[in-house]
Amino acid sequence: MVKRISQKDLIVEYFINHPNKEVPHPEVVDWAVSEWHKRTGEVFRDPDRAIRSLAQQGFLIKVKKGVYMYDPEHVEHRDLEDFTPAQKREILERGGYRCAVCGKGIEDGVELHIDHIRPKDLGGKATIENGQVLCAKHNFIKKNTGQTTTGKKLFVNLYEQAKAAGDDELMNFCASILEVFEKFNMNGHIVWKK
Ligand SMILES: [Zn+2]
């Protein structure tokens, strides 16, 4: 049995065979529709959508309205797990253009970054669900450590400070939170000395 290709694969095939060429929309659509029919006997219903989605994923460069280009260099050097400009916009909108930790926005003088909630190093994908807005400072704090790691370290440090300052109330507060970490077995590698 012949392995069935997807409609998107067909569009990809066309662009790979025409690298670095500014391809007007009708050219690839006409080819894909007729080629799809030839190969499968079926009608290619929405080639526009496949092209738009490839551009969104960063596989195609939108040169101008209705003109797309495939640049192998561009695709090769793009990290597939980086957010595309379109994804970044959506994540910013969903996050209300504010840091998910401190709630500050551009009007508060902070620079906003789009962060992978689950880091790329740990297999985090460039999906809208895996994105969040962080200010430069909190992005720096979080960096490639997981969210809970950062949280636990914060409370361990705060606990130590409270202990040193003899602030029982703050100590109890931190201890209560750290007990929750223990209860759920979160980040056991971060040691908390009671
Ligand atoms: Zn922040």
How far apart are the C-alpha atoms of 17 and 51, rounded to whole Å? 15
What pTM value is reported for the model? 0.46
Domain assignment present for 21: yes
Please report, in tens digits, the pLDDT of each residue of the chain (194 residues total): 455 788 889 999 999 999 999 999 999 999 999 999 999 999 988 888 899 888 877 788 888 999 999 988 877 766 778 898 889 999 999 999 999 989 999 999 999 999 998 888 777 888 999 999 999 988 887 775 666 788 888 999 999 999 999 999 999 999 999 999 888 777 777 788 88
What residues pack around ion ligand 1 (CB closer than 5 A)? 99, 101-102, 135, 138
| Same domain flag for 71 and 19 | yes
| Same domain flag for 21 and 45 | yes
pLDDT of residue 4: 74
Domain assignment present for 129: yes
| Same domain flag for 151 and 136 | no
Q: How far is the CA of 52 from the centre of ligand 1 (A)?
A: 34
| Same domain flag for 15 and 73 | yes
For residue 94, the surrounding DSSP H or E stretch is: helix 85-94
Domain assignment present for 1: no
Burial string for 22-38 (b: 16+ CB within 10 Å, else e) reads: ebeeeebbebbbeebee
Q: How far is the CA of 77 from the centre of ligand 1 (A)?
A: 30
| Same domain flag for 12 and 62 | yes
Domain assignment present for 95: yes
Q: How far is the CA of 126 from the centre of ligand 1 (A)?
A: 21
CATH code assigned at 71: 1.10.10.10
Degrees to nearest 5, angle at CA 35 with 29 and 39 = 145
**Structure token pair of residue 92:** 């910013």
Q: How far is the CA of 173 from the centre of ligand 1 (A)?
A: 22
Last residue of one domain, picked from the residues 77, 99, 122: 77
The C-alpha R_g of the chain, in whole angstroms, comes to 24
Q: How many domains does the chain have?
A: 3
| Same domain flag for 95 and 67 | no
Q: How far is the CA of 97 from the centre of ligand 1 (A)?
A: 11
Give how far the C-alpha of residue 39 lies from the chain's centroid of Cα atoms, to the nearest Å.
Answer: 35
pLDDT of residue 188: 72
| Same domain flag for 48 and 90 | no
Domain assignment present for 191: no
| Same domain flag for 52 and 18 | yes
Q: How far is the CA of 2 from the centre of ligand 1 (A)?
A: 53
Domain assignment present for 2: no
Q: How far is the CA of 92 from the centre of ligand 1 (A)?
A: 14
- Tokens 């620079």 sit at which residue? 111
| Same domain flag for 104 and 136 | yes
Q: Range of 174's domain?
A: 147-183
**Structure token pair of residue 180:** 């929750």
pLDDT of residue 101: 86
Domain assignment present for 71: yes
Q: How far is the CA of 131 from the centre of ligand 1 (A)?
A: 15
